Amino acid sequence: MCVKKNTSSNRVNKMKIAIIGIGLIGGSMALKLKQKQFATKVYGVDFNEQHLTDAKKLKIIDKISDLENAVQNSNVIIIAIPVDGTKKILSKILDLITDKQTVLDVGSTKSGIIKSIERHPKRNRFVATHPMWGTENSGPEYATLDAFKERAAVICDAENSAKDALELAQKLYENLEMNLLYMNSEDHDIHTAYISHISHITSYALANTVLEKEKEEDTIFQLASSGFSSTVRLAKSHPEMWVPIFKQNKENVLDVLNEHITQLRKFKSALEKENYDYLEELILNANKIRGILK
Amino acid sequence: MCVKKNTSSNRVNKMKIAIIGIGLIGGSMALKLKQKQFATKVYGVDFNEQHLTDAKKLKIIDKISDLENAVQNSNVIIIAIPVDGTKKILSKILDLITDKQTVLDVGSTKSGIIKSIERHPKRNRFVATHPMWGTENSGPEYATLDAFKERAAVICDAENSAKDALELAQKLYENLEMNLLYMNSEDHDIHTAYISHISHITSYALANTVLEKEKEEDTIFQLASSGFSSTVRLAKSHPEMWVPIFKQNKENVLDVLNEHITQLRKFKSALEKENYDYLEELILNANKIRGILK
């Protein structure tokens, strides 16, 4: 607790923030941090001109900027782009900053990103984080004020960040009203493979199954129950974001995917053998998720 | 259109309705049909005493009854129990009714149920229907007034129902504010395998995958993103309802399940071979669901 007090008082308010990638996540963060007056000025950087114009019009950012200018003028730099982009850009950003600045990423994978800068002289100015929220939509027009409220935010390998940088990240997530969790980056990537990445693959594969088999698109549209829509929702998520995640977390995702195919084969076997007691057993086991998820 | 006018005027209002199985579906139907004054009296029949007491307390039903009494006193009998129960009870109910009464079921499979009474002398008093709505919850306490609004309701093999019975079913679903669709029972069972039944299997299998691999239940709870919760929601659905559905629609479900495993293997192969162009292609194909689902 005293760790927090040491340095936070003169740094945690009235921040100038650069957001690299002003989409759903970066935009939602900007909205809340401004409302909370944690951020007094937000610089937006994005290669998508439309996103920049939209973000400015929606008052998500105060100034459209290039990377160098945004980084130079900010206390905190938040990288909120696909994880392959983060891997490419992070080292360059660390080159540009002083020891008074802090860099955060918000990507869905952590090990690869951290490894890419582990020997950088400014490594300790970087805090690797993952706010656990997202939707199938992208772009600043989907940004919302209370997107992150009461959800989990993970901070990885916290011991490798400077005390004041870590405290600033903590304060930032407190302003987003998130619940902070700490783990090492390897554990993070294993857990997210189970809790998030595999859901996207099943959802994509389910959409492809239905699109392959059900040629009458009109029937899908008319019959689709809320259950189907819910299960297939993530299949709308864009490849620009998800291919790099699967690539960086390949081993863990493959491990869970193999297990998932094994689990599906159990359902197949129960049906083929008309073993309905076994089918019931499989379902009763799945029902345990009821006690774990709200 | 003229078909409707012929007989509906003197039969469609002020109905006495028996609901066999007063759970989520039967309860939600009762609530709306009473509000619309389509039903003046609702008899509730259920082997679950608690459901009956709850339904009476919640004013979902007017009278707790046994099967014979409810059937004798009603214009319309709605069977809203698991599909194995429907198959067992339907013939017995048709034995009890006169030619002025109408029987509806609301089950998620249709071929097996229809076949079970295809030679019954009262076959034409039965209308096979499927309102496409449900949640992972069951019991009358989850019944809601506008559950079915603007969703699809399928009527199967309509040509085998008496004109007045069919019109009554149509009127009933209009009062539930549903959009009526017509198809034969074989097509219905194929479409629902794709649009609804497979979603449940993927969701159950996903829950089992995570429960198998992720031994830290607390981590699941803390990290579970909205995406995971959405994909795994259906895994909370009860086996009493779903085992009979999978059993009655075994061939179609197996067909889709095999395709789904094939689709998942494509993701596995793309990852194993590090063929990220192929992975992107698979995802872009899945994204097409965006244009089909709202």
Residue B294 is predicted with a pLDDT of 64
Q: Evaluate if residue A149 carries a pLDDT over 50.
A: yes
- Claim to verify: residue B173 and residue B102 sit in the same structural domain: yes
- Claim to verify: residue A164 and residue A276 sit in the same structural domain: no
CATH for B278: 1.10.3660.10
Out of A204, A231, A284, closest to residue B239 by CB: A284
Pick the more confident residue, A178 or A220: A178
C-alpha angle B95-B98-B104 in degrees, rounded to nearest 5:
75
Residues of chain A neighbouring B208 (CB-CB closer than 8 A)? 263, 266, 282, 285-286
A242 vs B241: CA distance, rounded Å: 35
B169 vs B154: CA distance, rounded Å: 11
Residue B223 is predicted with a pLDDT of 77
Cβ partners under 8 Å of residue B226, min gap 6:
A133, A134, A135, A151
Query: Which of B132, B163, B183 represents a domain boundary (last residue)?
Result: B183
Contact B276 A247 (CB under 8 A): yes
Contact A231 B204 (CB under 8 A): no
- Claim to verify: residue B39 and residue B177 sit in the same structural domain: yes
AA identity, residue A56? K
Closest CA of chain A from B99, distance in Å: 32
Q: Which residues of A51-73 are buried (b: 16+ CB within 10 A; e: fewer)?
A: bbebbbeeebbbbbbebeebbee
- Note whether B231 and B206 are within 8 A (CB): yes
Out of B195, B204, B264, closest to residue A225 by CB: B195
Give the gyration radius of chain A's Cα atoms: 21
Global confidence as pTM: 0.88
Contact A246 B279 (CB under 8 A): yes
Residue B165 is predicted with a pLDDT of 98
Out of B266, B272, B289, closest to residue A211 by CB: B289
- Indicate the pLDDT class of residue A294, thresholds 50, 70 and 90: low
Q: By three-state DSSP, how is residue B17 classified?
A: strand
Q: Evaluate if residue A108 carries a pLDDT over 60.
A: yes
- Claim to verify: residue B109 and residue B192 sit in the same structural domain: no
Tokens of A184: 């090492």
- Claim to verify: residue A268 and residue A143 sit in the same structural domain: no
- Claim to verify: residue A149 and residue A246 sit in the same structural domain: no
- Claim to verify: residue B171 and residue B222 sit in the same structural domain: no
Query: Which of A144, A164, A183 represents a domain boundary (last residue)?
Result: A183
Residue B136 is predicted with a pLDDT of 82
AA identity, residue A221? F
Out of B221, B256, B257, closest to residue A293 by CB: B221
Closest CA of chain B from A194, distance in Å: 6
Residue A10 is predicted with a pLDDT of 41
Residue A33 is predicted with a pLDDT of 97
Out of B134, B261, B272, closest to residue A261 by CB: B261
Which residue of B264, B278, B280, B287 to mutate against A (max A Cβ within 10 Å)?
B264
Residue A1 is predicted with a pLDDT of 21
Query: What's chain A's average pLDDT?
Result: 91
ipTM, 2 decimals? 0.90
User: Smallest Cα–Cα separation from B270: which of B255, B292, B290, B285?
Assistant: B285
User: For A199-204, what is the mean pLDDT?
Assistant: 94
Cβ partners under 8 Å of residue A90, min gap 6:
A79, A103, A105, A113, A116, A117, A126
Which residue of B110, B156, B267 to mutate against A (max A Cβ within 10 Å)?
B267
Which of A63-72, A109-118, B132-141, B170-179 is predicted with the least confidence, judged by mean pLDDT?
Answer: B132-141
- Claim to verify: residue A235 and residue A115 sit in the same structural domain: no
- Claim to verify: residue B209 and residue B177 sit in the same structural domain: no
- Note whether A106 and A148 are within 8 A (CB): no
Find residue A76's DSSP bridge partners: A17, A102
Contact A259 B209 (CB under 8 A): yes
Q: Evaluate if residue A48 carries a pLDDT over 60.
A: yes
pLDDT in tens, B174-186: 999 999 999 999 9
Contact B232 A179 (CB under 8 A): no
User: A259 to chain B: nearest residue by CA?
Assistant: B209
Interface contacts A/B by beta carbons within 8 Å? 313
Contact A223 B152 (CB under 8 A): yes
- Indicate the pLDDT class of residue A225, thresholds 50, 70 and 90: low
Q: By three-state DSSP, how is residue A82 classified?
A: coil
Tokens of B198: 């497979």
- Claim to verify: residue A32 and residue A159 sit in the same structural domain: yes
- Claim to verify: residue B88 and residue B174 sit in the same structural domain: yes
- Indicate the pLDDT class of residue A56, thresholds 50, 70 and 90: very high
CATH for B117: 3.40.50.720
Contact B225 A134 (CB under 8 A): yes
Q: Containing domain of residue B13, as a range?
A: 2-183
User: For A214-236, what is the mean pLDDT?
Assistant: 78
Pick the more confident residue, A52 or A228: A52
- Claim to verify: residue B22 and residue B127 sit in the same structural domain: yes
Which residues of chain B fall short of a pLDDT of 70? 1-13, 217, 225-226, 294
Out of A191, A265, A280, closest to residue B243 by CB: A280
Tokens 């109905």 belong to B15
Query: Which of B183, B217, B236 represents a domain boundary (last residue)?
Result: B183
Q: How many domains, chain B? A: 2
Element (H, E) at B113: helix B111-116
A122 vs A96: CA distance, rounded Å: 10
